[in-house]
Copies of this chain bind each other. A is one copy, B any other.
Amino acid sequence: MVAINTVFAPIENDLLSLNKNLQNMIGARHPVLGAAAEHLFTAGGKRLRPAIVLLCAKTFANNNEISASQRRLAEITEIIHTASLVHDDVLDECSTRRGIKTVHNVFSTKIAILAGDFLFAQSSWYLANLENLQVVKIISKVITDFAEGEVRQGFTRFDLQFPIEDYISKSFYKTGSLIAASCQGAVMLNDAPKEISDAFYMYGRYLGLAFQIIDDILDVVGSSNDLGKPAGSDLSQGNLTAPVLFSIPESIYLAQLIDQEFANSSDIQDALQIIREGCGIQQAKDLASEYLQAAIHCLEIIDNSADIQLLKQLTLNILERVN
Q: Are B113 and A91 in contact (CB under 8 A)?
A: yes
A125 contacts the other chain (CB 8 A): yes
Q: Is the CB of A124 within 8 A of B110?
A: no
User: With an 8 A cutoff between CB atoms, is A137 at the interface?
Assistant: yes
Asked if A120 is at the interface (CB within 8 A of a chain B CB), the reply is yes
Question: Across the interface, do B150 and A117 meet the contact criterion of CB distance under 8 Å?
Answer: yes
Q: Which of B109, B117, B125, B136 contacts A128 (CB 8 A)?
A: B136
Is the Cβ of B136 less than 8 Å from the Cβ of A122?
Answer: no
Q: Are B114 and A151 in contact (CB under 8 A)?
A: yes
Q: A30-B151, A30-B155, A136-B136 are in contact. Are A143 and B114 (CB under 8 A)?
A: no
Distance between Cα atoms of A32 and B124 in the complex (Å): 26
| Nearest CB of B to A189, in Å | 14
**Chain B residues with CB below 8 A from A147, complex form:** 114, 117-118, 121-122
Number of copies: 2
Chain B residues with CB below 8 A from A95, complex form: none
Q: In residues 101-126 of chain A, which contact B (Cβ within 8 Å)?
A: 109-111, 113-114, 116-118, 120-122, 124-125
Q: In the complex, which residue of chain B has the Cβ closest to the Cβ of A127?
A: B140
For chain A, what secondary structure do more than half of its interface residues adopt (helix, strand, loop), or is it mixed?
helix
Q: How far is the CA of A85 from the CA of B20 in the complex (A)?
A: 34
Which of B30, B87, B111, B141 has a CB less than 8 Å from the CB of A125?
A: B141
A140 neighbours in B (Cβ, 8 Å): 121, 124-125, 127-128
In angstroms, Cα B96 to Cα A18, docked, is 43
Residue on B with the closest CB to A32? Answer: B155
- Provide the residues of chain B in CB contact with A29, threshold 8 Å: 148
Is A129 located at the chain interface by the 8 A CB criterion? yes
Name A110's closest neighbour in chain B (CB-CB). B91
Q: What are 21 A-B contacts defined by CB distance under 8 Å?
A: A30-B151, A32-B155, A33-B151, A87-B113, A87-B117, A91-B110, A91-B114, A113-B113, A114-B147, A114-B150, A116-B117, A117-B120, A117-B147, A121-B147, A122-B147, A124-B124, A125-B141, A125-B143, A127-B140, A128-B133, A133-B136
